[in-house]
């Protein structure tokens, strides 16, 4: 990569290598107030499956440029593009560990103003499971996507047991939980993962399964 390559240049280079799998183009979104945001797929969400992840195959050099911009929030980007970069942070976050560790230590994670997608970094942080375990009690509703992604990738039975209890707590307190935030979708993904991988028995997951089919599945 050239030293003066912009985020746009690097993202386009990585996306073009996967061009056969994507129809969307990286572009600048122009807004009425004169601001511009960089976007890829305005309808996209968190790329859990590799087939949805447009930054797959980024080199460490490319990842450093992308993640430094992402962590510093230098370039205004749309939601789905930020989710793509959050997935990259969950894979290669060690490249910007010092910066993210400082942010982790100094941020009020009980605030909606917190950079919630940076919590995907916990997936590669040596004590990330301990952080995630604690933050499940702290991070607010509709601000947990980065935390959920980290939990998805961390293989820690105690953490997953805590997440299961939190899901039960959230939808028991409010039957409409997750409908406007998409967190009900995360519940469905985790139930499928836990059943497939044998993390929990069907009997242990039955309460979540019943709620999911009653309230989340149309």
80's CB contacts (< 8 A; 6+ apart) are 39, 40, 41, 42, 43, 44, 45
List of residues 6+ apart from 181 with CB closer than 8 A: 141, 142
- What pLDDT is stored for residue 94 in this prediction? 98
C-alpha span between 102 and 50 (Å, rounded): 29
Q: What is the mean pLDDT of each successive set of 10 residues along the chain, which is 218 residues long?
A: 74 86 80 90 88 93 97 95 97 98 98 97 98 98 97 98 98 90 95 97 97 83
Residue 44: per-residue pLDDT: 84
């Amino acid at each position: 990569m050239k030293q003066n390559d912009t985020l746009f240049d690097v993202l386009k280079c990585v996306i073009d290598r996967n061009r056969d799998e994507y129809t969307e183009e990286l572009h600048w979104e122009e807004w009425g107030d004169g601001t511009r945001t960089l976007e890829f797929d305005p309808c996209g969400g968190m790329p859990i499956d590799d087939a949805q992840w447009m930054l797959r195959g980024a080199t460490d050099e490319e990842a450093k440029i992308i993640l430094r911009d992402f962590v510093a929030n230098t370039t205004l980007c749309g939601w789905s593009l930020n989710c793509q970069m959050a997935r990259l942070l969950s894979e290669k976050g060690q490249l910007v560990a010092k910066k993210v560790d400082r942010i982790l230590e100094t941020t009020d994670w009980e605030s909606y103003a917190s950079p919630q997608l940076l919590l995907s970094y916990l997936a590669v942080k040596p004590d990330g499971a301990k952080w995630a375990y604690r933050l499940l009690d702290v991070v607010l509703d509709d601000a947990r996507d980065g935390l959920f992604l980290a939990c998805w990738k961390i293989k820690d039975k105690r953490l997953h047991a805590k997440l299961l209890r939190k899901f039960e707590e959230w939808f028991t307190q409010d039957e409409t939980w997750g409908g406007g935030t998409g967190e009900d979708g995360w519940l469905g993904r985790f139930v499928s993962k836990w059943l497939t991988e044998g993390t929990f028995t069907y009997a242990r997951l039955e309460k979540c399964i019943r709620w999911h089919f009653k309230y989340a599945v149309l």
